[in-house]
């Protein structure tokens, strides 16, 4: 089959590799019909994620058709499914509590050591995202092997467009969980830092969960426009002072809940920062911690902080004093995708949530390297790149 | 005298002895604990049949049952050699505990105990404690390396595989093809 493989910094190629096969009884093989490039894939592209090996197949946002099933899979050939990026067993204590991204068993035993050292306990496996999260081949390919296929993939109506449901795999549940973690009360004002895909979905979700006002903060004009379309008020932090604006806009109280969705595109585990103690790298440096620091300072007293943005290591200058003195609550974590998929699928089918607006480019899988480059180079206009293995190459 | 898992040191707290900061120069003691979301009896029954353990233990080449309490364990050594020892079950409490000890003459005198403690809604707390005497000789050095490379990590990984198999019915692998899977297993 053809698959997008990582070969090093800014070097991804579409290679011909062996087709995946059923290995364990609960496996299924999915023929990919659509897959997206996630912002976090750019960190692999930029060479910031350790434990990558040349030839690793990328991609953790994907969907397709079931073409083969193991003896204990509950899927049937021909079904159309969307696959969560988190690989969870459904049988362990954490899965029983619907904390799927904390699954004990989704990550192969030998690959759990790093998570244990770094975080105290290892987290679940992930598709196409380095060897410390399992070393699983991803879905930017013609086919993918999906472990625990009786738990993860959700069957979607066969006549629904891929574009409408593809983002159930990651960013839509991630945006929803961000809003849920903000514990929104009717009439609340919610501020969202970052209008990438997850931030934009968090804006939509916050309104659905009862927020009266949502204030979106970014510096890309196009992304702020998208937030505005969903009813958010906007702050462009290159043009306005964010804290001062928030205070003015909330009657001097501060937002009831704040969501840090900056860098949320990174499901990344920035181990390099931990191991090398490179505190000032662009990903863990001032800008990234800046958003959570600003969010904590702006948040009203007794308010709630939701942090879908990924932080992998240690941060300096975390305003612990403000956090304590103001009596804030912080909720965060990798998304428990499996928990959110069914309700969000319903919301999509019922027309309550639209995700198609996000897609700015659709390319054949063969053009994936071009997709990575354009997404990397132009984040204002390129909001989301979808890859389709069946799409013919455009005439040059 | 074979290594003893019941090493006692002066303690003034409730922490397990295996977490003591005071190390014993002549004896290595490794302990790992995992909670498995299955009944104790089922986990015990799996562990009571040594041949099952090949599925979850990475280092072991073969386990041959001699009789109900004795089995022979074989580990692959360099240059096509093999090293083996006989393991004898010295205490067996169905559903709760299995304790074993190497028979006299083992390259690495070792002993171990696995306990299964009911944890209610969370399943069963499984605790493995393994003790061994650092051996001498060339083969002894190899074995020592094998055991000591990261004995705790090895035990931890074996218990994770045990947990995966018991909870999910399979052992997680990232292999994409059967060929990759077999290469990993080799």
Whose structure tokens read 């080449």?
A: B61
**Do both A126 and A190 map to the same domain?**
no
Q: Looking at the DSSP assignment, which residues form a beta bridge with residue A190?
A: A214, A257
Determine, for residues B170 and A145 on separate chains, whether the beta-carbon distance falls below 8 Å. no
Q: Please, are residues A162 and A83 in contact by the beta-carbon 8 Å criterion?
A: no
Q: What's the CA gap between A312 and A321, in Å, rounded?
A: 22
Q: Which residue has the higher pLDDT, B132 or A186?
A: A186
Any domain includes A117: yes
Instruction: For residue B181, give the chain A residue with the closest CA.
Output: A23
Check residue A375 and give its pLDDT. Answer: 95
Determine, for residues B169 and A72 on separate chains, whether the beta-carbon distance falls below 8 Å. yes
pLDDT band at residue B6 under the 50/70/90 scheme: low
Q: What's the CA gap between A69 and A283, in Å, rounded?
A: 40
The mean pLDDT values, 10 residues at a time, for chain A of 396 residues are: 97 98 98 94 85 95 98 98 98 97 96 87 94 95 98 97 97 97 97 94 97 96 96 94 96 97 51 42 47 92 91 73 96 95 97 94 97 93 95 67
Check residue B153 and give its pLDDT. Answer: 82
Check residue B26 and give its pLDDT. Answer: 57
Determine, for residues A20 and B177 on separate chains, whether the beta-carbon distance falls below 8 Å. yes
DSSP secondary structure, A122-165, as one string = ---EEBTS-TTTT-B--SSBSEEEESSTTTS-EE--TTS-HHHH
Encoding tokens for residue A114?
């790093």
DSSP secondary structure, chain B, as one string = ----TT------SSS-GGG-SS--TT-EEEEEEEEESS-HHHHHHHHHSGGGGGGT-SSEEEEEE-SSSEEEEEEE-STT-EEEEEEEEEEEETTTEEEEEEPTT-SS-EEEEEEEEE-GGG-EEEEEEEEEPPP-SHHHHHHHHHHHSSHHHHHHHHHHHHHHHHHHSS-----SSHHHHHHHH-
pLDDT (tens digit, 9 = 90+) per residue, B95-122?
A: 999 999 999 988 778 899 999 999 999 9
pLDDT (tens digit, 9 = 90+) per residue, B33-83?
A: 999 999 999 999 999 999 999 999 988 889 999 999 999 998 876 666 777
Give me the residue from B37, B158, B171 closest to A93, CB to CB: B37
Q: In CATH, what number is assigned to the domain containing residue A257?
A: 3.40.50.720
Q: How many CB pairs under 8 A join A and B?
A: 85
Any domain includes A396: no
pLDDT (tens digit, 9 = 90+) per residue, B136-171?
A: 555 556 665 665 456 778 889 999 999 999 999 999
Q: Please, are residues A174 and A50 in contact by the beta-carbon 8 Å criterion?
A: no
Determine, for residues A110 and B157 on separate chains, whether the beta-carbon distance falls below 8 Å. yes
Encoding tokens for residue A365?
């899988």
> Which stretches of chain A are DSSP H helices?
39-45, 93-96, 113-119, 162-165, 171-181, 197-208, 221-229, 242-249, 271-276, 286-298, 320-325, 337-349, 368-377
**Do both A78 and A88 map to the same domain?**
yes
Residues of chain A in contact with residue B172, where contact means CB-CB under 8 angstroms, are 24, 87, 89, 105-109, 125, 134, 147
Looking at the structure of chain A, the number of domains it has is 2
**Do both A239 and A342 map to the same domain?**
no
**Do both A14 and A161 map to the same domain?**
yes
Interface test with A, best of B154, B155, B172 (most A CBs within 10 A): B172
Any domain includes A352: yes
Any domain includes A347: yes
Q: What's the CA gap between A309 and A123, in Å, rounded?
A: 17
The residue range of the domain holding A298 is 171-332
CA distance to A1, A178, B11, B28, per residue, from A166 (Å): 21, 19, 57, 52
Check residue B135 and give its pLDDT. Answer: 58
Whose structure tokens read 């467009």?
A: A161
**Do both A176 and A89 map to the same domain?**
no
Q: Please, are residues A335 and A345 in contact by the beta-carbon 8 Å criterion?
A: no
Check residue A285 and give its pLDDT. Answer: 39
Q: Please, are residues A285 and A262 in contact by the beta-carbon 8 Å criterion?
A: no
Local structure of residue A394 (DSSP, 8 states): P
Check residue B115 and give its pLDDT. Answer: 97
Determine, for residues B174 and A125 on separate chains, whether the beta-carbon distance falls below 8 Å. yes
Q: What's the CA gap between A385 and A371, in Å, rounded?
A: 6
Q: Pick from A332, A348, A379: which residue ends a domain?
A: A332
Interface test with A, best of B152, B168, B175, B182 (most A CBs within 10 A): B168
Residues of chain A in contact with residue B153, where contact means CB-CB under 8 angstroms, are 113
**Do both A97 and A191 map to the same domain?**
no
Determine, for residues B157 and A109 on separate chains, whether the beta-carbon distance falls below 8 Å. yes
Encoding tokens for residue A279?
């505190």
Mind listing the domains of chain B with CATH numbers?
Answer: 26-185 (3.30.530.20)
Closest CA to A290 of A237, A246, A340: A237
Parallel, antiparallel, or unpaired for β A2-8 and A11-16?
Answer: antiparallel
**Do both A94 and A237 map to the same domain?**
no
Q: In CATH, what number is assigned to the domain containing residue A34?
A: 3.90.180.10
Determine, for residues B37 and A96 on separate chains, whether the beta-carbon distance falls below 8 Å. yes
> Which stretches of A31-108 are DSSP H helices?
39-45, 93-96
Residues of chain B in contact with residue A106, where contact means CB-CB under 8 angstroms, are 172
**Do both A145 and A189 map to the same domain?**
no
Give me the residue from B35, B153, B176 closest to A113, CB to CB: B153
Whose structure tokens read 């004093």?
A: A321
Instruction: Show which of residues 28-67 on chain B sit within 8 Å of chain A, judged by CB atoms.
Output: 35, 37
User: What is the rounded radius of gyration, in angstroms, for the C-alpha atoms of chain B?
Assistant: 17
Closest CA to B145 of B28, B55, B51: B28
**Do both A306 and A372 map to the same domain?**
no
Q: What's the CA gap between A309 and A290, in Å, rounded?
A: 12
B126: closest CA of chain A, how far (Å): 15
Q: Please, are residues A114 and A271 in contact by the beta-carbon 8 Å criterion?
A: yes
A276: three-class secondary structure by DSSP: helix
Check residue A46 and give its pLDDT. Answer: 87
User: What is the rounded radius of gyration, in angstroms, for the C-alpha atoms of chain A?
Assistant: 20
**Do both A373 and A287 map to the same domain?**
no
Check residue A51 and give its pLDDT. Answer: 85
Q: Please, are residues A259 and A296 in contact by the beta-carbon 8 Å criterion?
A: no
């Amino acid at each position: 089959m053809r698959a997008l493989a990582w070969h090093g910094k800014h070097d991804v190629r579409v290679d011909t590799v062996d087709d995946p096969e059923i290995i364990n009884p609960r496996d299924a093989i999915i023929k990919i019909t659509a897959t997206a490039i996630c912002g976090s894939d750019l960190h692999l592209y930029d060479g910031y994620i350790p434990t990558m090996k040349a030839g690793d197949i990328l991609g953790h946002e994907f969907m397709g058709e079931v073409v083969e099933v193991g003896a204990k899979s509950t899927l049937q050939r021909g079904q159309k499914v969307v696959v969560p990026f988190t690989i969870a067993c459904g049988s362990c204590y954490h899965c029983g509590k619907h904390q799927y991204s904390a699954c004990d068993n989704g990550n192969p035993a030998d690959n759990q050591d790093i998570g244990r050292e770094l975080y105290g306990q290892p987290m679940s496996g992930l598709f196409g995202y380095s060897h410390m999260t399992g070393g699983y081949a991803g879905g930017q390919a013609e086919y993918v092997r999906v472990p625990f296929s009786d738990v993860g993939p959700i069957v979607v109506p066969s006549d629904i467009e891929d574009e409408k449901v593809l983002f159930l795999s990651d960013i839509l549940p991630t945006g929803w969980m961000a809003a849920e973690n903000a514990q929104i009360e009717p009439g609340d004002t919610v501020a969202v830092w970052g209008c990438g895909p997850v931030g934009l979905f968090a804006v939509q979700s916050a309104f659905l969960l009862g927020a009266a006002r949502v204030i979106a903060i970014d510096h890309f004009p196009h992304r702020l426009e998208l937030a505005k379309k969903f009813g958010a008020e906007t702050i462009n932090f290159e043009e306005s002072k964010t804290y001062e604006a928030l205070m003015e806009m909330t009657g001097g109280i501060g937002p009831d809940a704040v969501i840090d969705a900056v860098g949320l595109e990174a499901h990344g585990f920035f181990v390099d920062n931990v191991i090398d103690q490179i505190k000032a790298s662009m990903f863990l440096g001032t800008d990234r911690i800046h958003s959570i620091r600003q969010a904590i300072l702006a948040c009203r007293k007794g308010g709630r902080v939701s942090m879908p943005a990924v932080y992998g290591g240690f941060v300096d200058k975390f305003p612990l004093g403000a956090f304590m003195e103001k009596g804030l609550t912080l909720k965060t974590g990798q998304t428990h995708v499996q928990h959110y998929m069914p309700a969000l699928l319903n919301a999509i089918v019922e027309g309550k949530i639209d995700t198609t607006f996000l897609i700015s480019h659709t390319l054949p899988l063969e053009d994936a390297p071009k997709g990575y480059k354009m997404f990397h180079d132009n984040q204002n206009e390129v909001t989301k790149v979808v890859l389709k293995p069946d799409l013919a190459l455009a005439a040059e | 005298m074979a290594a003893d898992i019941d090493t006692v040191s002066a303690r003034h707290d409730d922490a397990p002895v295996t977490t003591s900061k005071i190390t014993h120069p002549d004896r290595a003691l490794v302990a790992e604990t995992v909670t498995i979301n299955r009944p104790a009896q089922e986990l015990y029954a799996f562990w009571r049949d040594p041949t099952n353990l090949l599925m979850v233990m990475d280092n072991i080449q073969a386990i041959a049952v001699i009789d109900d309490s004795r089995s022979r364990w074989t580990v692959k050594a360099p240059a096509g050699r093999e090293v083996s020892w006989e393991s004898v079950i010295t205490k067996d409490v169905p559903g709760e505990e299995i304790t074993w000890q190497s028979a006299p003459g083992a390259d690495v005198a070792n002993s171990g105990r696995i306990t299964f403690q009911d944890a209610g809604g969370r399943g069963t707390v499984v605790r493995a404690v393994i003790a061994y005497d650092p051996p001498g000789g060339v083969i002894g050095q190899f074995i020592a390396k094998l055991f000591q490379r990261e004995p705790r990590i090895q035990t931890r990984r074996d218990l994770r595989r045990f947990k995966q198999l018991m909870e999910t019915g399979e052992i997680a692998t990232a292999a994409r093809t059967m060929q990759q899977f077999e290469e990993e297993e080799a």
